Chain A
Amino acid sequence: MEALLWLIPIAIAMGAFGLGGFFWSMRHGQFEDTDGDASRIFMDDTDSPIVDDSMKSDSIKKDARD
Chain B
Amino acid sequence: MGRVDTPKSGAPIGCPSGLQTREVAELDPMGGALDLSPYVTRSDNEGSTLELIVQGAHCAGCLAKIERAVTALVGVKTARMNLSTLRLRVVWDGDQTSANDIVKALSDNGFGAAPYSVDASEQKAQDELKYLLRAIAVAGFAAMNVMLLSIAVWSGGADMGEGTHSLFHWISALIALPTVAYAGRPFFRSAFAALAQRRTNMDVPISLALVLACGLSLYETVHNNLDTYFDAAVMLLFLLLIGRYLDARLRQRTGAAARRLAAMQVTSATRILPDGSIETVPAASIKPGDTLLIPAGQRLPVDGIIARGTSDFDMHIATGESQPQCYGPGDPVYSGTINLTAPLTITASAALSDSFLSEITELVELGEQSKSRFVKIADRAARAYVPVVHTLALLTFVGWLLVGADLRVASLNAIAVLIITCPCALGLAVPAVQIVAAGRLFKNGVLIRSGDALERLAKTKSVIFDKTGTLTQGRPILTNTDDIAPDALALAAALARQSNHPVSRALHGMQTDLEVTDITEIPGQGLRGTFAGDVVRFGSAKFLGLDSGDARAGTVWLQKGTEAPVAFAFVDALRPDAADVVAALQADGLRVDLLSGDVKSVAETTAKTLGIEHWYGQVSPRQKMNVLYQREAEGRYPLMVGDGINDAPALAAANSSASLASAADVAMSASDIILQGDRLSGLPMAIKTARAARSRVIENLGLAITYNMIAIPLAVFGFVNPLIAALAMSGSSLLVTLNALRMAR
Which chain A residue shows the least CB distance to B136?
A22
Q: Decide: A36 and B81 in contact? CB cutoff 8 A.
A: yes
Q: Please, how many residues of chain A have a CB less than 8 angstroms from a CB on the other chain?
A: 36
Q: Which residues of A contact B149 (CB under 8 A)?
A: 8
Which chain A residue shows the least CB distance to B58?
A39
- Please count the residue pairs between chain A and chain B whose beta carbons lie under 8 angstroms apart in the complex: 78
Question: Quick one: which of A30-66 are within 8 Å of B by CB?
Answer: 31-36, 39-45, 50-52, 55, 58-61, 63, 65-66
Q: Decide: B134 and A15 in contact? CB cutoff 8 A.
A: no
- Cβ-defined partner of B60 (8 Å) among A16, A43, A58, A59: A43
Q: Decide: B45 and A23 in contact? CB cutoff 8 A.
A: no
Q: A19-B138, A23-B134, A52-B78 are in contact. Are A43 and B84 (CB under 8 A)?
A: no
Cα distance A21–B161 in the bound complex, in angstroms: 35
- Cβ-defined partner of B141 (8 Å) among A4, A16, A33: A16
Q: Which residues of B contact A50 (CB under 8 A)?
A: 67, 71, 78-80
Q: Which residues of B contact A4 (CB under 8 A)?
A: 164, 167
**How near does chain B come to A42, taking the closest CB pair, in angstroms?**
4
Cα distance A4–B149 in the bound complex, in angstroms: 11
Q: Which residues of B contact A41 (CB under 8 A)?
A: 60
**How near does chain A come to B665, taking the closest CB pair, in angstroms?**
26
Cα distance A39–B148 in the bound complex, in angstroms: 37
- Cβ-defined partner of B77 (8 Å) among A8, A22, A33, A51: A51
Cα distance A43–B164 in the bound complex, in angstroms: 55
Q: Decide: A1 and B164 in contact? CB cutoff 8 A.
A: yes
Cα distance A66–B141 in the bound complex, in angstroms: 27
Q: Decide: B63 and A36 in contact? CB cutoff 8 A.
A: yes
Q: Decide: B141 and A40 in contact? CB cutoff 8 A.
A: no
Q: Which residues of A contact B144 (CB under 8 A)?
A: 15
Q: A19-B137, A51-B77, A63-B78 are in contact. Are A42 and B84 (CB under 8 A)?
A: no
Q: Decide: B67 and A35 in contact? CB cutoff 8 A.
A: no
Q: Which residues of B contact A15 (CB under 8 A)?
A: 141, 144-145
Q: Decide: A31 and B133 in contact? CB cutoff 8 A.
A: yes
Cα distance A16–B179 in the bound complex, in angstroms: 12
Q: Decide: B45 and A36 in contact? CB cutoff 8 A.
A: no
B405 at interface, CB cutoff 8 A: no
**How near does chain B come to A18, taking the closest CB pair, in angstroms?**
7
Cα distance A66–B80 in the bound complex, in angstroms: 10
B64 at interface, CB cutoff 8 A: yes
Q: Decide: A34 and B137 in contact? CB cutoff 8 A.
A: no
Q: Which residues of A contact B130 (CB under 8 A)?
A: 26
Q: Which residues of A contact B161 (CB under 8 A)?
A: 1
**How near does chain B come to A26, taking the closest CB pair, in angstroms?**
7
The contact string, 1 if C-beta is below 8 Å from chain A, for chain B 43-68, is 00110000000000001110110010
Q: Decide: A36 and B83 in contact? CB cutoff 8 A.
A: yes
B175 at interface, CB cutoff 8 A: yes
The contact string, 1 if C-beta is below 8 Å from chain A, for chain B 153-165, is 0000000010010
The contact string, 1 if C-beta is below 8 Å from chain A, for chain B 118-145, is 0000000000001001100110010011
Q: Which residues of A contact B84 (CB under 8 A)?
A: 32-36
Q: A26-B130, A51-B77 are in contact. Are A39 and B83 (CB under 8 A)?
A: yes
Q: Decide: B77 and A55 in contact? CB cutoff 8 A.
A: yes
Q: Decide: A51 and B83 in contact? CB cutoff 8 A.
A: no
Cα distance A41–B60 in the bound complex, in angstroms: 8
Which chain B residue shows the least CB distance to A59?
B45
Of the candidates B76, B78, B79, B175, the one having the most CB atoms from chain A within 10 angstroms of its own CB is: B78
Of the candidates A32, A41, A45, A59, the one having the most CB atoms from chain B within 10 angstroms of its own CB is: A32
Q: A31-B133, A60-B46 are in contact. Are A65 and B80 (CB under 8 A)?
A: yes
B85 at interface, CB cutoff 8 A: yes
B171 at interface, CB cutoff 8 A: yes
**How near does chain A come to B533, taking the closest CB pair, in angstroms?**
57
Q: Which residues of A contact B61 (CB under 8 A)?
A: 42
B82 at interface, CB cutoff 8 A: yes
Q: A19-B137, A50-B71 are in contact. Are A58 and B45 (CB under 8 A)?
A: yes
Q: Which residues of B contact A22 (CB under 8 A)?
A: 137
**How near does chain A come to B622, taking the closest CB pair, in angstroms?**
43
Cα distance A60–B77 in the bound complex, in angstroms: 12
Which chain B residue shows the least CB distance to A19?
B141
Q: Decide: A40 and B60 in contact? CB cutoff 8 A.
A: yes
Q: A4-B164, A50-B78 are in contact. Are A39 and B141 (CB under 8 A)?
A: no
Of the candidates B59, B60, B76, B138, the one having the most CB atoms from chain A within 10 angstroms of its own CB is: B60
Q: Which residues of A contact B (CB under 8 A)?
A: 1, 4, 8, 11-12, 15-16, 18-19, 22-23, 26, 31-36, 39-45, 50-52, 55, 58-61, 63, 65-66
Contacts A4-B167, A23-B134 given; 16 further ones with Cβ under 8 A? A4-B164, A8-B149, A8-B171, A19-B138, A26-B133, A26-B134, A32-B84, A36-B63, A39-B60, A42-B59, A42-B61, A43-B63, A50-B71, A51-B77, A52-B78, A55-B77
18 A-B pairs within 8 Å (CB atoms) are namely A4-B164, A8-B149, A8-B171, A12-B171, A15-B141, A19-B137, A23-B134, A23-B137, A39-B60, A42-B60, A43-B63, A50-B80, A51-B78, A52-B78, A55-B77, A59-B45, A65-B80, A66-B78
Nearest 8 pairs between A and B by C-beta?
Answer: A36-B83, A39-B60, A42-B60, A35-B83, A33-B82, A35-B84, A19-B141, A52-B77
